[in-house]
Chains A and B, each alone.
Chain A
Amino acid sequence: DVKVTQSSRYLVKRTGEKVFLECVQDMDHENMFWYRQDPGLGLRLIYFSYDVKMKEKGDIPEGYSVSREKKERFSLILESASTNQTSMYLCASSRTLAGGSYEQYFGPGTRLTVT
């Protein structure tokens, strides 16, 4: 079974702190993603990576950065946390299926609260 793990289930940080969210997958997937999920808005893509050291901006990259130094690990960084970054953060990884589509596997999520 594919396993995607996230470093914390719950996290409370203060405004202005630098925050690191870690994601690790054990299936040798090329692609990894970071989303945030807010009530009434659904999932929104922050960043994704299709290979080591490669990254692409998603729909809402402002205020975030990412790092992918190893294939199995994808980190999301909040350089200076703000209260509007309070959210559920979901990491996903994927393999490519025949025809070019891919199936995503999600981690359990990190509920971040910024006070």
Chain B
Amino acid sequence: KNQVEQSPQSLIILEGKNCTLQCNYTVSPFSNLRWYKQDTGRGPVSLTIMTFSENTKSNGRYTATLDADTKQSSLHITASQLSDSASYICVVEAGSYQLTFGKGTKLSVIP
């Protein structure tokens, strides 16, 4: 069964600090891996999409990494801001509209 596990479930950090969120997956076949940001009460918004051949992708202060051999991905947030407070969802596509969603990491950035 395809699975996506995210850790930690929740995280509290001080404004200005960096943090890293983890995603482990057992999805086959692998097509791509996505990270979404979801603000409370809103729909998810795409941050990055990485295919098998990509091992790093950045979107502003967000940097995602992918290790297809170990089936692990991370999302690194640099110099966090209050507006980074949200849930971050890791999603792996197996192709043909087959998406497996992680349960998300809830990040709280405090002043």
Give A residues with C-beta under 8 Å from B: 4, 31, 33, 40-45, 48, 50, 56, 90, 92, 97, 99-101, 103-109, 111
A107: chain B residues within 8 A (beta carbon)? 43
Between A and B, 13 residue pairs with Cβ closer than 8 Å are A31-B97, A33-B97, A42-B101, A42-B104, A43-B44, A43-B101, A45-B99, A92-B43, A100-B31, A101-B32, A103-B46, A104-B46, A108-B43
The interface size bin for chain B is 10 to 19
Query: Across the interface, which residues of B come within 8 angstroms of A41, CB to CB?
Result: 103
Once the chains bind, are B43 and A4 in contact (CB under 8 Å)? yes
B79 within 8 A of A: no
Q: Which residues of B contact A50 (CB under 8 A)?
A: 97
Verify A48–B43 contact, CB threshold 8 A: no
CB 8 Å contact bits of B73-99 with A (1 = contact, 0 = none):
000000000000000010001010101
Asked if A109 and B41 make an inter-chain contact with CB atoms under 8 angstroms apart, the answer reads yes
B51 CB-CB contact with A under 8 Å: yes
| 6 A-B pairs with the lowest CB-CB distances in the bound complex, closest first | A106-B43, A42-B103, A43-B101, A42-B101, A101-B32, A106-B44
